[in-house]
Amino acid sequence: MQLLTSINNSYDLFLFLKEKDLLKEHCISWWPSSNAFEILLGAILTQNTKWTNVEKSLINLKKINILTLEDLVNIDIQNLIFAITPSGFKNQKSKRLKLIAANILEEFGSFELFKSSCTRTWLLEQKGIGFETADAILCYACKRDFMVADKYTLKLLQKFNYEFESYEDLQAWLEYGINENYDKIVQLYDYKISLNLIYCRFHGKIIEFMKKN
Ligand code: 39A
C-alpha cells in the first residue's frame, strides 16, 4: 500500500502517526513493562519472532522466578531452554541470555550500574546483540536517547518512498527530525515529556501502525 500523504522529515512522520492515536491502549512508553530487567529479556527474545511469542516466554520466566541477572546466571540451561521455547531459537537465545547476564555482572557489578553506565559500543560487543537489540535495550531499559530503527520503520518509510543505506542512516534521519522539532513536540503533550519518551512513543506508534496497515 502506497501512502498518499507526503513527509519531509521524521517530525512530519511523527505528526502523521500522532493524529492516529495508536497508543491509547498502551502504557506511556509503549513497551508493556516498566521492569528494566524484563525489557532486557524481551529485547533479546523478540529477535526473529512475534511479540505474542515473547509474551509467552516472559510469563514462563516469571513463573520459574527468573527475576534478576543472578537468577539467569544460576538457572539450569535446560530449564531456561524450556521456558523460552515459545519465542524460538531456544538454544541460541538461552546461551545469549546467560552470557549477557554474566557479562553485565562481571563488567558493571549490578543491573542498576549497567543501566546508568553501559554504552552502545559495549552492547554491540555482546554475542547476538545487533543495532536494533542494542538500541531497544538503551531506549526502553536504560531510558537513554536512542531511537530504535527496526524493519517495521524501514517498511513504513518505503511506503513514503524513502530508502536508507544503513541502519545508522535511518536512525540518524529519525532522530534528527525529532531533535530539531523537540520544542514543538513537547507542546503537543499535556504532561512533561522527555526526548527518551518521545523516541519510545514514536517507535511504538510505528509498530502499532504497521501492525494495522
Ligand atoms: N515487535 C515488538 C513488539 N510488538 C512489541 N510490542 C508489540 C508491544 N515490543 C515491546 C517489542 N517488539
* pLDDT tens-digit readout, 161-175: 999 999 999 999 999
Binding pocket residue ranges, ligand 1, CB within 6 Å:
31-32, 42, 46, 51, 207
Are 24 and 71 within one domain?
Answer: no
Task: List the CATH number of the domain containing 23.
Answer: 1.10.1670.10
Q: Is residue 70 part of a domain?
A: yes
- State whether 103 and 58 are in the same domain: yes
Whether 161 and 176 map to the same domain: the answer is yes
pLDDT of residue 45: 98
Looking at the structure, tell me whether residues 89 and 133 fall in a common domain. yes
The per-residue pLDDT for 191 is: 92
- Whether residue 23 is predicted with pLDDT greater than 70 in this model: the reply is yes
- Average pLDDT in the 8-22 region? 97
Domain finish residue from 141, 172, 191: 141
The burial class, CB within 10 Å (0-12 / 13-18 / 19+), for 8 is exposed
What is the pLDDT, as a whole number, of residue 100? 98
Q: How many domains does the chain have?
A: 2
Q: How far apart are CA 193 and CA 110, in angstroms?
A: 28
Express each pLDDT in 116-127 by its tens digit: 999 999 999 999
Residue 1 has pLDDT above 90, yes or no: no
pLDDT the model gives residue 121: 98
* Domain annotation covers residue 154: yes
So what's the pLDDT on residue 171?
A: 98
Residue whose CA is at the smallest distance from ligand 1 atom 4: 51
**Per-residue pLDDT, 3:** 72
Same domain flag for 101 and 130:
yes
Residue 195 inside a domain? The answer is: yes
Query: Each residue of 200-212: pLDDT tens digit?
Result: 999 999 999 999 9
Closest approach atom of ligand 1 to CA 46: 12
* 47 and 136 share one domain: yes
Residue 19, C-beta contacts closer than 8 angstroms, at least 6 positions apart: none
pLDDT at 5: 82
Rg (CA), the chain: 18
Residue 29 has pLDDT above 70, yes or no: yes
Closest CA to ligand 1's atom 5:
51
Instruction: Enumerate residues 6+ apart whose C-beta is below 8 A from 205.
Output: 14, 17, 18, 20, 22, 23, 30
Q: Kindly give the residue spans of alpha helices, DSSP state H, lying in the chain.
A: 10-18, 36-45, 51-63, 69-74, 77-83, 90-108, 111-117, 120-124, 131-136, 151-159, 167-180, 182-186, 195-212
Q: How far is the CA of 27 from the centre of ligand 1 (A)?
A: 12
Does 4 have pLDDT greater than 90?
no
Q: Tell me which residue range forms the domain holding 201.
A: 10-30+147-212
Q: Is the pLDDT of residue 2 over 70?
A: no
Select from 23, 147, 207 the residue to mutate for testing ligand 1; criterion: most ligand atoms less than 8 Å from CB. Answer: 207
Among 22, 26, 31, 87, which is best to mutate for testing ligand 1, by the most ligand atoms less than 8 A from CB?
31
CA of 185 from ligand 1 middle (Å) equals 23
